[in-house]
Structures are given as C-alpha cells and as structure tokens.
C-alpha cells in the first residue's frame, strides 16, 4: 500500500533549482532513505513534504490526501511527523512535559474547558499523561521523566525528539539525520532502535542520513540525489554498486 507519493516536485529559489522533479513512492511499513552529497537537496525535499516550503511545481500525496503546500501542523494531523537535524526540544521543560505537550495536537477539548478543568478536559489530560508515560517507557526514557530535556545525554535527546513525534500518532515518520552528532556506539544502537520503533508502532520511516552504516543497515530502498536530481533508486546492494552514486560521493578522476 502506497503511503507517500510525490509527483515531479520541484523547488526553485530565484534562479537556483534546489530539487528538480523528484518522484518518491514510499509504501506502508518500509524504511526508505534519501541520501546524497552535501547540498544535494535532501533537506529541501523534506521541507516540501512537511509543509515548510510549498513546491514551485508538482504534487505531494499522503495516502489519498493532496498535502501540497499545506501548513505543517495540518500535515502532522494527517499522520506525517518529523524530527530535525538540529534537535528542537523545550530544553527547560522536563522530559515528560516535552512529550505531554506534543499530544495536544489531537485534543478535542477547548481552552475554556481546560481553564475550568471541565470533565472532558480532565479525561483527555489523564489519557495524554498515560500515553506520554507509555512512550517514555517504550523509548527507555521513563527514568529521566522529571529531568530537564537539556540535561539528557545527546543520544537520549534524539530519542526524546522521536518520542515527541510519536505522540502525534504518525503513520509515517521522517527522520532528518538522526545519527548526527552521535558517537559510534550511539550510532550502532540507533540502527536497531529505528527498526524496533518501526515494528513496535507499525510505522513507515523515511530518513535522511549521512552515516552509510545506518542507511545500508536498515533501508529497504534508497533514493540518491545529486544537485537536486535523482540519480539512482534501489536497494542497498544496488546503490553501493551504482557507478553514478560512487562518482557523486567520491568524484571521478580525469583519467577515468
């Protein structure tokens, strides 16, 4: 079942084409990676899909919903959540509060009910607290629940950001360089962690990542961008042996 589809999405900034006619097809339950050298257009692609940018041309579909140019919070409500390369947490708030706040996207009670602590709000608040604690337990963060987010080790901050994304009830989770800043041990743990949350929460995962050990270790399929253009699509073995990909990453000598 196809969950995310982009049809010839293009992003231009003045005379610069950052991404040209990108076509993605991501099926339910897959782990798909988007890779390429620095400046290839990967984050621009993520920003179009998540509503940060409206594509210059092309369409984006989440299931049967056309989400092209929709606001980020509306896209999130439809079931697409993301993390960022630069961690974006409420650093002065507790670990629990960070996840608790993310749940409010789906609140049905209004501010009037919240201020007066009316029954519907109290029931929802209890449910959100239980869900937040459940997510912290599943992501091995429960023992840190009262700690300020800024005091967590770096790898745990990454987990917390993912916990917040999971609190929005996504169908598909976009991870923007989840291994950035991690040491080798944390990077190794991340590979199994991503697989585990895919299975535990029945997710589809789409990620940008520079660590090839992570990409090759977890991806069902890989898209490769170079200067905004798709140069290869395939499984890890096919990508590792694609001459165009090798040249994009390593260059090619004049003799060659």
pLDDT band at 115 (very low <50, low <70, confident <90, very high): low
pTM, entire model? 0.87
Report yes or no on 119 lying in a domain: yes
pLDDT at 108 over 70: no
Q: Residues 73, 105: one domain?
A: no
Residue 254: pLDDT band (50, 70, 90) is very low
Cβ contact 178:190 at 8 Å:
yes
Q: pLDDT category, 256, cuts 50, 70, 90?
A: very low
CB 174 within 8 A of CB 50: yes
Please name the residue that has the structure tokens 């997710």. Answer: 203
The whole-number average pLDDT for the span 113-122 is 66
d(CA 134, CA 166): 11
Does 112 lie in the same domain as 68?
Answer: no
Residues 187 and 157 in one domain: no
Check residue 53 and report its DSSP letter.
Answer: S
Q: Which two tokens stand for residue 82?
A: 């993301």
φ and ψ at 247, to 5 degrees?
Answer: -65, -40
Supply the range of the domain harboring residue 106. Answer: 90-164
Judgement on whether residues 70 and 107 belong to the same structural domain of the protein: no
Quick one: 61 and 177 in the same domain? yes
63 with 174, same domain: the answer is yes
Q: Across the strands, what pairs with 207?
A: 33, 175
Asked if residue 84 belongs to a domain, the reply is no
Using the predicted structure, report yes or no on whether residue 252 has a pLDDT greater than 60.
no
Instruction: State the pLDDT at residue 1.
Output: 83
Contact by Cβ (8 Å): 251, 239: no
| Res. 36: pLDDT tops 90 | yes
Q: Return the CA Rg of the chain.
A: 19
Name the average pLDDT for the chain: 89
| 182 vs 70: which has the higher pLDDT | 70
Tell whether 160 and 175 lie within a shared domain.
no
- pLDDT (mean) for 13-21: 94
226 in a structural domain: yes
pLDDT at 105: 65
CATH of the domain at 20: 3.40.50.300
Based on the fold, state whether residues 175 and 252 are members of the same structural domain: yes
User: Could you report the per-residue pLDDT of 126-167, keeping only the tens digit for each?
Assistant: 888 889 999 999 999 999 999 999 999 888 998 999 999 999
- Percent of the chain at pLDDT exceeding 70: 91
CA gap 41, 201 in Å, rounded: 29
Residue 193 lies in a domain: yes
Which domain-ending residue is among 114, 132, 164? 164
Q: Provide, rounded to the nearest whole percent, the portion of the chain with pLDDT above 90.
A: 68
Q: Which of 164, 188, 215 is the last residue of a domain?
A: 164
Residue 183 in domain? yes
Residue 255's pLDDT band (cuts 50, 70, 90):
very low
On whether residue 85 sits in a domain, the answer given is no
Note whether 57 and 152 are within 8 A (CB): no
Could you give the number of structural domains in the chain? Answer: 2
Going by the DSSP 8-state scheme, the letter that residue 225 receives in this structure is E
Top pLDDT among 239 and 179 is at: 239
Last residue of a domain, one of 164, 198, 213: 164
**Residues 256 and 177 reside in one and the same domain:** yes
Strand ordering across the sheet containing 31-35: 80-82, 172-176, 204-208, 31-35, 221-226, 229-234
Domain match, 251 and 175 both: yes
Residues 151 and 221 in one domain: no
254, 151: one domain: no
Instruction: Give the pLDDT confidence score for residue 242 in this predicted structure.
Output: 93
pLDDT at residue 85 in the model: 77
Mean pLDDT of 223-249: 93
How far, in Å, CA of 154 to CA of 87, rounded?
9
């Amino acid at each position: 079942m196809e969950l995310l589809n982009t049809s010839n999405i293009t992003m231009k900034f003045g005379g610069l084409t950052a991404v040209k006619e990108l076509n993605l097809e991501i099926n339910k339950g897959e782990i798909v990676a988007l890779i390429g050298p620095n400046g290839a257009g990967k984050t621009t692609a993520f920003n179009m899909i998540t509503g940060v940018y409206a594509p210059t041309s092309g369409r984006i579909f989440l299931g049967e919903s056309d989400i092209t140019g929709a606001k980020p919070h509306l896209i999130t409500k439809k079931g697409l959540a993301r993390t960022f390369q630069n961690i974006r947490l409420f650093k002065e708030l507790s670990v629990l509060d960070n996840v608790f706040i993310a749940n409010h996207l789906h609140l049905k009670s209004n501010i009037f009910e919240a201020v007066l602590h009316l029954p519907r709000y109290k029931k929802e608040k209890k449910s959100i607290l239980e869900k937040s604690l459940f997510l912290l337990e599943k992501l091995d963060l429960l023992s840190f629940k009262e700690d300020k987010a800024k005091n967590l080790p770096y790898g745990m901050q990454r987990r917390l950001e993912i916990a917040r994304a999971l609190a929005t009830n996504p169908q598909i989770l976009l991870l923007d360089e989840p291994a950035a800043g991690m040491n080798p041990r944390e990077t190794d743990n991340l590979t199994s962690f991503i697989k585990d949350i895919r299975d535990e929460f029945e997710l589809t995962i789409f990620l940008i990542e520079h660590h090839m050990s992570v990409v090759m270790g977890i991806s069902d399929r890989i898209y490769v961008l170079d200067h905004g253009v798709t140069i290869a699509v395939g499984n890890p073995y096919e990508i590792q042996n694609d001459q165009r990909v090798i040249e994009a990453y390593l260059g090619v000598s004049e003799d060659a």
